[in-house]
Structure 1
Amino acid sequence: MRAIGIIPARLASSRLPQKLLLAETGKPLLQYTWEAACRATQLSEIIVATDSEEIAEVVRAFGGTCEITRDDHPSGTDRIAEVVRRRSSDAEIIVNIQGDEPDIDPASLNQLVELLAENPASEMATLCTPITTREQWSDNSCTKVVCAANGAAMYFSRCPIPFYRDGEPDELLAGDTPWRLHLGLYAYRRDFLLRLTELPPSRLEKLERLEQLRALESGATIQVGEVAHPAAGIDTPDDYARFVQRHERAA
């Protein structure tokens, strides 16, 4: 079962301009993500999909493979699908890797591929991690997921789900928490990815602004694996400053 990883990489970023090219550590941020992805033993190839020739030049300079895409894609998933339609016809599994997660664990990428290999009826796979703080529990920018006993996603929401009717969340957050934070990593079966990106945004997707709900509303099964700790994404100047500090301490 051949699996490949694709990193969608837009140049534009509203909160941190050109963040994937920031290089205070001596290497562009995107290169760290690419290097981590290359260490995932279940992925036979890593491709950067970008609308920017500037990013493409940087990727080629550090030895990566890059595909230039259209600049009008509404999401990274659509950008990935363009590349998949153009090439990689022999890949059975496509892993969507966020370019702004330089500390991504290669084992997490392997886990996504293994989830689909072990669950042949599932069209997609993704990851979650326990929510243990009131801040994450209440933050509507942190997506929550509820799963069935077999690990299949039942629903994703920006609201704290499940709802705790008879108590306060702090009672459970410090112990056996029932809440799970969804992590924005996905693996798709190739044919399903292409079908999914041809569907219009679904009703629940438009309400919650969560693309994965389109897959659930279409009847797809999304298998969810759990990891102990998420990778830290880089969204703001403070996030990048902390990444630089971590790199300096590790050097």
Structure 2
Amino acid sequence: MSSRPLLLIPARLASTRLPNKPLADIAGKPMIVHVLDRAREADLGPVVVACDDAGVAEIVTAAGGFAVLTRADHPSGSDRIFEAIGRFDPDGRHDVIVNVQGDLPTIEPAPIRAAAALLADEDVAIGTLAAEIRIEAERTNPNVVKAVGTEIAPGRLRALYFTRATAPWGDGPLFHHIGLYAYRRAALERFVALPPSPLERRERLEQLRALEAGMRIDIAVVDTVPLGVDTADDLEHARAALRSR
């Protein structure tokens, strides 16, 4: 890629379901440091943690990372990283922004690179990830967001819709959307300036705002879904997974 990626990790301390989530200990390290390490291993460009707490920033700095303090009242991680970009790179040197969620301590470097690589096509505004659903119960679980797309190359879809419903109907694979995004910087700027869209409000899925605005999203299909940590049970699963490494 000829682009200059910047990797941003949004980290919000005041999680309602798991308080102080970025600082949760996993195998002897705070969760945010695990994500920082995985993002650095992707070797795409600088990695910055966008956080709303000085304690998180200090831990990131002690781990050899770079942190930017942002406002605490952002409605989404996208808004948080957009503020951080303006502080870290006001001159616009970085034209691709990779948003690695701060609660994915088991994310591997390869999927991060796969999302960014989608932007090698100049028509793509946003790249993201999905994995084929293998567990039957997940096909009907509204907490498992489905990515609906048309295959344009092996392992690559052009997104048509994202939904909590079971879709598409009929025989064939369903795809579990993974909330990691690579944005063209101009696309992110446009996205955060748009108001929440009708389908976004209805499905409670932020990425639908981009689709409703006519922005093209491509999806790289990967083998597995990284463990997202939202609850105490998720945290125990992450601890077990990373203890065995």
On whether the aligned pair clears a TM of 0.5, the verdict is yes
Residues 142-165 of structure 1, C-alpha deviation per residue, up to 9 Å, x if partnerless?
11011123221001111011022x
Match of 1:169 in 2: none
For residues 243 and 208 of structure 1, the distance between their equivalents in structure 2, rounded to whole angstroms, comes to 28
Residue 107 (structure 1) shift:
0.5
- In structure 2, do the counterparts of structure 1 residues 25 and 178 end up closer, same or farther at CA, with 3 Å as the change threshold? closer
> Would you say 1:141 and 2:143 are equivalent positions?
yes
For residues 66 and 244 of structure 2, the distance between their equivalents in structure 1, rounded to whole angstroms, comes to 30
For residues 84 and 243 of structure 2, the distance between their equivalents in structure 1, rounded to whole angstroms, comes to 35
Residue 44 (structure 1) shift:
1.0
AA matched with 2:168: P
For residues 180 and 24 of structure 1, the distance between their equivalents in structure 2, rounded to whole angstroms, comes to 29
TM-score (norm 2): 0.93
For residues 41 and 26 of structure 2, the distance between their equivalents in structure 1, rounded to whole angstroms, comes to 23
CA contact (8 A) 2:106 2:242 kept: no
Match of 1:59 in 2: 60
The one of 157, 180, 201 equivalent to 2:196 is 201
Q: Map residues 152-191 of structure 1 onto 2, 5 A cutoff.
A: 152-164=158-170, 177-191=172-186
For residues 31 and 225 of structure 1, the distance between their equivalents in structure 2, rounded to whole angstroms, comes to 26
- Higher percent of residues as strand: 2
Match of 2:223 in 1: 228
For residues 241 and 108 of structure 2, the distance between their equivalents in structure 1, rounded to whole angstroms, comes to 16
CA-based RMSD of the aligned residues comes to 1.2
> Would you say 1:247 and 2:242 are equivalent positions?
yes
For residues 112 and 24 of structure 1, the distance between their equivalents in structure 2, rounded to whole angstroms, comes to 26
Aligned to 2:39, what secondary structure does the other structure show? Answer: helix
Residue 24 (structure 1) shift:
5.0
Match of 1:16 in 2: 18
Aligned length: 237
CA contact (8 A) 2:68 2:87 kept: no
Structure 1: state its 5+ residue gaps: 165-171
Aligned to 1:243, what secondary structure does the other structure show? Answer: helix
AA matched with 1:22: A
Q: Map residues 73-88 of structure 1 onto 2, 5 A cutoff.
A: 73-88=74-89
AA matched with 1:33: V
For residues 134 and 102 of structure 1, the distance between their equivalents in structure 2, rounded to whole angstroms, comes to 25
- In structure 2, do the counterparts of structure 1 residues 85 and 248 end up closer, same or farther at CA, with 3 Å as the change threshold? closer
TM-score (norm 1): 0.91
> Would you say 1:104 and 2:110 are equivalent positions?
no
More divergent stretch after superposition (238-247 vs 120-129): 238-247
Residue 95 (structure 1) shift:
0.5
For residues 149 and 230 of structure 1, the distance between their equivalents in structure 2, rounded to whole angstroms, comes to 19
- In structure 2, do the counterparts of structure 1 residues 24 and 202 end up closer, same or farther at CA, with 3 Å as the change threshold? closer
Structure 2: state its 5+ residue gaps: none
